[in-house]
Structure 1
Amino acid sequence: MVKDRILRSIFSFLLRRRVVSIGTKYYPTNDREREYVEMINYTHTMLLEIEKAHITTQNIFQTVLKEVGRGNIPENRRFLELKPAENDVNEYALLSNIIMGSDRYLYLEIFQRNRQIIEEFVELIKDNNGQIIEKSDSEIVSRLLSKNDAIRVSVELIKLGIEKGIDVRAAVGMTGAAAIERSINLNREIGETSGIGFTKLGGEFAITFSSQIGELEGEPVVYDNYLFLDAIDSTGFIEEQGRDRLVEIMNEIKNFIQADCKGKIEGYRVGGDDLVANLPTKDAALRAGIDSAWHALNNGARLRIGVGKSRREAGERAQMADNIKIWNNSPVMVFDLADGIYAYYIPSEFTRTVVGFLSEKTGHVIFIFIFVFLLTLIGWNLMGRDLGGYVLGGWELGVFGVILALLYAATR
């Protein structure tokens, strides 16, 4: 923990941006997750804070209203904070969303058995592109395309239930089990009252209703999720490896975005060094961006990437990557999170070697520091001494210590 904090402090100073994490603490449970975790840790990918997100209950509520649609959450709601959100961005949760995607499970419960209304709920969920996983006379487990869809559909279901004099409990989770557990916890907090439980930025929240709900817009809020991708120093890359190689890499990235991420390519010309894509979800855009950056880097190319709700916003964020560097530009993907701006920074091979050495051989680093310090101290104390006709300047032992330390580090 201390070692990680020291490393983050060092690179925060070098990058002039706060380093939230280096690598990830995410624990993989399947091959897909394992692949991402291994790549992030192997490349020592860093999550950087460009503009700090202001994570407060009020901001979270306003974000939910904006994302779900104000017309889809009526005025007679009550917003509850069951567990405060973390006052910082959680790299674990961010990576989880990128890997697992945006779809969420919705658990629905009524407090008295009623097969007829359950069937009506099932049809409404299906009409909103939901998938029914399990159902009984009082419960439904379903899967929706996103958390926002799950919240929006929950409000519609609660409205239908209240009109029939039935309280409806809904909860949203990454898995069916998580959604059910969230519903149980919510029941302890508010009793048998109509409401929706969900998480946001590490906190637990609920929206409850105790009276009739008026007309709802019923339509999901649709956002574009643009990915702007541009090769760094493409001229230098072409001189070294040729234009055909750049075309090959860009075509591979384009095909990946289209096939695996369901993205629509815009503004790409064969032979060009940039492209714009519109992705179905923000998570898909982030996954397309980080995968593309890793793929290009593995083939000797570096990308600057921006993710935004418009082409312009994505392009501006890609340009921000130019100022995120230690010495030379490395692959960077800039995106928004809550009301802040963050970036994934992939260090150069030299920097990755340094990070690996510092993190894995802390004892050696301490030994080298003490060794060089002592030699330098001895040198300064002997400064001016005549050693057989040579007057010691004081710096020689320090330089000698550095040379020995480099030889030691290179041979360990």
Structure 2
Amino acid sequence: MATIKIAFDKRADHRTKDKKFPLVLRVGHARKTRDIPFNLHLKEKQYDFSTGKITGIMNATRHTKRTRKIYSDVDLWMDEHAGEIKNWEIKKLKSEIERIFFKKSPSNSILNHGAVYLNRLRLEERFSTASSYEDALKALIKFRKSLKGEDDTVLIKTLFELKDGKLKVLDDYKDLDMEIKAMDYAFSKDFKAYMSNRYKSKNTPAIHLRSLQAIMNDAGKTYQDLKDHKPLSSIKKQSHENAPAPLSLEDINAIRKLELEARTPIWDTRNFLLFMFNNMGMNHFDMAILKRFQFNDNRIKYFRKKTIYEGDYFSVLQNEESLKIIGYYLNGQNDDEYLFPIIPESTTPERLHMVNNGKVKTFNKYAKRIAKLAGIEKKITTYTLRDTWTNIGLDMGIDIRKISSGLGHSSVQVTEKHYGKSVSEKILDEINAKITSS
């Protein structure tokens, strides 16, 4: 149960030269205490703990009334909200008392709380998610710059700096920050329109809006006055289905037959391309961070990084081609070293996704050359292999439930959402063929 009392903060470094101490409201909760100062320094004899009376200073009567009222109001408020408060941390309890009764409102700005949220993601080593959320905040700051008539095309490398193990907003962007409450429905609609005009991908605005909504929802759970502030909830964040351009099995075989000089970047790219395809369209990042110990008994065992929190674990028996590819790169690595020479061993966890993004660009560059050499007119990227594996499986008549399991989707409905057009076409073709042939 939370408690309060009026006390002196008698820490030596808080005592004044004339032996006065700060008068504080001492908050107790979950075996912890926090002090909220009344901004009064008194000698011990100037405060009567039995009556709450202050004497010996200017405006003593007014200060007595103020401290008594705050104590009484906080005590009543805590009693009325005891059910909620028992689930709070003391940091939140102190913050709420300061905001409501001491008029000390913390800056509930989108960048300040964004820093808190991103720091939490960093501690959970969800660096890729943190980067995606920061991209959304960058888009917001660019919109704010455009509203102020400033150049919104300047590259923003980062909005934060790391100080004492925590993210802090850089001074350059503090003037562009804004209170979360100021982000109303009209502002959100204008921001969405700005992004729709600025970004080529139709999905980017929806991705950024969902990221910002996650940050704002967390702020709503943190600060009482933001509990019902949800302007983004009524903004449509519909994803647009990207039309997949999968390769055919003939295309894959054409890539296999290419004569490429061994131990060159384009040769490596071909190996990685085929390895990803052979492993159910494995994500490039998942392949890049595979460790030596994850290859055992001719199997690759891994958690899909994108859905690791959903428990997506795979154990894939490697075919002859993949075993041959792995063999090219086995060089006596330790168990904790990377299986493939894609990401440098010295890369820190927080830079992994950034380094991988650079490697993806290299992959896509050489994949374009591979397509040209193989006479393939389709664009090949790291995403192509997942679509290719799925499409070939559907062509072969493999049950969509098995395809869904291989993709790591949470349900068949998710697979149908992503590949709905391909699935419906094949079903209709099959039905039509049976009917017309009769």
Q: TM-score, normalised by structure 2?
A: 0.21
Greater per-residue strand proportion: 1
The structure that has the greater radius of gyration is 2
Pick 1 or 2: higher relative contact order, CA cutoff 8 A, min separation 6: 1
Q: TM-score, normalised by structure 1?
A: 0.22
